[in-house]
Amino acid sequence: MRRVLIINHSVANCGIYQFGKRLYDIIKKSSRVDYTYAEVNSFDEYITWQRLIDPDFTLFNWYHTTMGWLPPDLNIISRSKHYFVFHERPVRQYYDKYLFFGENCPTNGVIDSVNQVVPEKCIGLPRPLFEYRNMHPKNKIPTIGSFGFVSSWNKGFDTITTMVNREFDNAVLNLHMSWSPFCDPKKEMVYQMADKCRSLNTKPGITLNITHDLVNNTEMLDFLAKNDVNVFLYKDSPQYGLSSATDYALSVQRPIAIDGSIPFRHIIKDDININKRSLREIMSYGTAPLEEYCEKWSSDKLRSDLEELFINEQIAN
């Protein structure tokens, strides 16, 4: 059986960390590939795990602010092939393969003007959705939700608050704003955003609920499942990878509203685009616009595709 070592960092208040942990939780059920998960924070720890597992493949859930200990030239004595989860630039050109979740591999070898990716090293895979059954009833009062780590690239909580106040006289708005030690170590941005949203919530008939504490995946899925629509509006920039927030939202069988920014390029269509439809319209469509994504990005499909990848790949002697 092929052995795969999955390397993550250890700070849970981070979307990169959550993606790596979620990926492992899905694929560890494989009966065809032996996956080992390790949270590693230094090169010495990495070498220890290599010697302990002797993997055929090492999959780095790498990002430049969370795994800076990894040598840029990958001058590592190991028979293991090194794979890389693509989140966003910058990437490293020395890995054997790049894994793109939920989008086609780049055909021209360039994500943006400063970020080179070799097309022959890129592999497209399904998004890691959760296996979740939504048992929560629909609400009598329109209930809108959103969540995310507050960072330098705005998650649009203030815009969502303004939008709900413009479109509804009576509604519930649930915002879960988390903080990350990588981009908001003093929790300044998250509290500033919360205060701004409170100031923008001007209608007495709209109840605004704001929470901050990190929750586990089940709690987050329950939070989203209780909303009638979950809204995600991101500041646009060409270097961003794909949003992980919509993976959670797709998993709970509720409508999703997004804007046309780069992180949503994998699911954008008119019937869920807030720039082309109102919140009421998007809610009225239900989950019909999302069904194709839930089908092609199932947990079983992701698990199977990765099994085929590692089983069919050649390994070093």
Q: Please tell me the predicted confidence (pLDDT) of residue 93.
A: 58
Q: Please tell me the predicted confidence (pLDDT) of residue 243.
A: 87
The yes-or-no verdict on residue 317 having pLDDT over 70 is no
Q: Hey, where are the domains in the chain?
A: 2-126+299-312, 143-296
The yes-or-no verdict on residue 314 having pLDDT over 90 is no
Q: Which CATH class is domain 2-126+299-312?
A: alpha beta
The yes-or-no verdict on residue 270 having pLDDT over 70 is yes
The yes-or-no verdict on residue 114 having pLDDT over 60 is no
The predicted-structure confidence for 27-46, as pLDDT tens digits, reads as follows: 999 999 999 999 999 989 99
Q: Please tell me the predicted confidence (pLDDT) of residue 168.
A: 98
pTM for the structure as a whole: 0.86
Alpha-carbon span 56 to 44, nearest angstrom: 19
The yes-or-no verdict on residue 239 having pLDDT over 90 is no
> Percent of the chain beyond pLDDT 90?
60
**With 0-12 CB in 10 A as exposed, 13-18 as middle and 19+ as buried, what is 7?**
buried
Between 44 and 228, whose confidence is greater?
Answer: 228
The yes-or-no verdict on residue 288 having pLDDT over 90 is yes
Average pLDDT value for the chain: 88
Structural domain 143-296, CATH architecture: 3-Layer(aba) Sandwich (3.40)
Per-residue buried b or exposed e for 199-236, using 16+ beta carbons within 10 Å of the residue's own CB: ebbeeeebebebeeeeeeeeebbbbbbbbbbbbbbbbe
Q: Please tell me the predicted confidence (pLDDT) of residue 134.
A: 95
Contact 153, 242 (CB under 8 A): no
| Strand order across the beta sheet in which 229-232 lies | 206-211, 171-178, 143-149, 229-232, 256-258
The yes-or-no verdict on residue 190 having pLDDT over 80 is yes
Alpha-carbon span 163 to 278, nearest angstrom: 9
What angle, rounded to 10 degrees, do the helices at 299-312 and 15-27 form?
80
Between 60 and 64, whose confidence is greater?
Answer: 60
The yes-or-no verdict on residue 241 having pLDDT over 60 is yes
The predicted-structure confidence for 171-182, as pLDDT tens digits, reads as follows: 999 999 987 776
Q: What is the mean pLDDT of residues 48-68?
A: 90
Alpha-carbon span 10 to 171, nearest angstrom: 38
**For 316, phi and psi rounded to 5 degrees?**
-75, 150
Q: What is the mean pLDDT of residues 245-271?
A: 94
The yes-or-no verdict on residue 100 having pLDDT over 70 is yes
Q: Please tell me the predicted confidence (pLDDT) of residue 13.
A: 79
Between 115 and 86, whose confidence is greater?
Answer: 86
Q: Please tell me the predicted confidence (pLDDT) of residue 78.
A: 72
Q: What is the mean pLDDT of residues 82-104?
A: 77
- For the chain, give the secondary structure using H, E and C: CEEEEEEECCCCCCHHHHHHHHHHHHHCCCCCEEEEEEECCCHHHHHHHHHHHCCCEEEECCCCCCCCCCCCCCCCCCCCEEEEECCCCCCCCCCCEEEEECCCCCCCCEEECCEECCHHHEEEECCCCCCCCCCCCCCCCCEEEEEEECCCCCCCHHHHHHHHHHHCCCEEEEEEEECCCCCCCCCHHHHHHHHHHHHHCCCCCEEEEEECCCCCHHHHHHHHHCCCEEEECCCCCCCCCCCCHHHHHHHCCCCEEECCCHHHCCCCCHHHECCCCCHHHHHHCCCHHHHHHHHHCCHHHHHHHHHHHHHHCCCCC
Whose tokens are 């939920």? That residue is 102
> Percent of the chain beyond pLDDT 70?
87
Asked if the domains at 2-126+299-312 and 143-296 fall in one CATH topology, the answer is yes
The predicted-structure confidence for 195-219, as pLDDT tens digits, reads as follows: 999 999 999 999 999 999 888 999 9
Q: Please tell me the predicted confidence (pLDDT) of residue 155.
A: 85
Cβ neighbours of 274 (radius 10 Å): 22
Q: What is the mean pLDDT of residues 187-197?
A: 89
Q: Please tell me the predicted confidence (pLDDT) of residue 316.
A: 66
Q: Please tell me the predicted confidence (pLDDT) of residue 235.
A: 78
